[in-house]
Amino acid sequence: MQETRFIDQYRLLGIEAPGANMDRYEKADLIFRAACKVQQIDPATLPLIYRLGHSEALVTSFAAQALQSSIIAFYKLQVIHNAIVGAWVAAWNNPRERKWSPFHWMNDPGFRFDGSNYDITGAAGGSRLCFETEEQSDFAGIECIALYADLNGAELAPAQAA
């Protein structure tokens, strides 16, 4: 069961592991709010895409449609990441240190977790979200999968397929 597997991460965030049936977006939101509390960040403060010099948001533009969800998802993942790894910072010059990241499938039946893998000195774009341990990476990749789906512009697989 995932909720008992990640008990250390939930304890770190100061919340109880949610039930297995919780909606994945609700679960990610719960985790984000807990991570905000740990870091004393207002969870209502999110990145915005505005046209500079104007007051209205670009709600119908390419920017808003394509990027708003991705940028907010990354921001939330970064907040969660920082709460999970604490003071750890990747040492890119240390060839003995593994930097873990989750990997996901993009094809049918939808966005789903595959596993966590590590790199040593290289980055493919996700280096801001690499983790100190495989367990932390699995936690993010599984429990926050709704945010990773938004980040990648993908649709979640049905719960039973995931």
- Give the CA distances from residue 148 to residues 25, 54, 57, 90, 94, in Å, rounded to whole numbers and listed in that order: 11, 31, 24, 21, 27
Q: At what angle do helices 134-143 and 145-152 cross, to 10 degrees?
A: 80
Task: Give the torsion sign (CA, 85, 101, 143, 133).
Answer: negative
Residue 121 found at the interface with other proteins (CB under 8 A): yes
127, 158, 159, 161: which one contacts other proteins (CB under 8 A)?
Answer: 127
The contacts of residue 96 (CB under 8 Å, 6+ apart) are none
Residue 87 found at the interface with other proteins (CB under 8 A): no
Residue 108 found at the interface with other proteins (CB under 8 A): yes
Which residues, numbered 57-86, are part of the site for other proteins (CB under 8 A)?
Answer: 58, 61-63, 66-67, 70-71, 74-75, 78-79, 82
Residues making contact with other proteins (CB under 8 A): 41, 45-53, 58, 61-63, 66-67, 70-71, 74-75, 78-79, 82, 90, 92-93, 101, 103-108, 111, 114, 117, 121-129, 148, 151-154
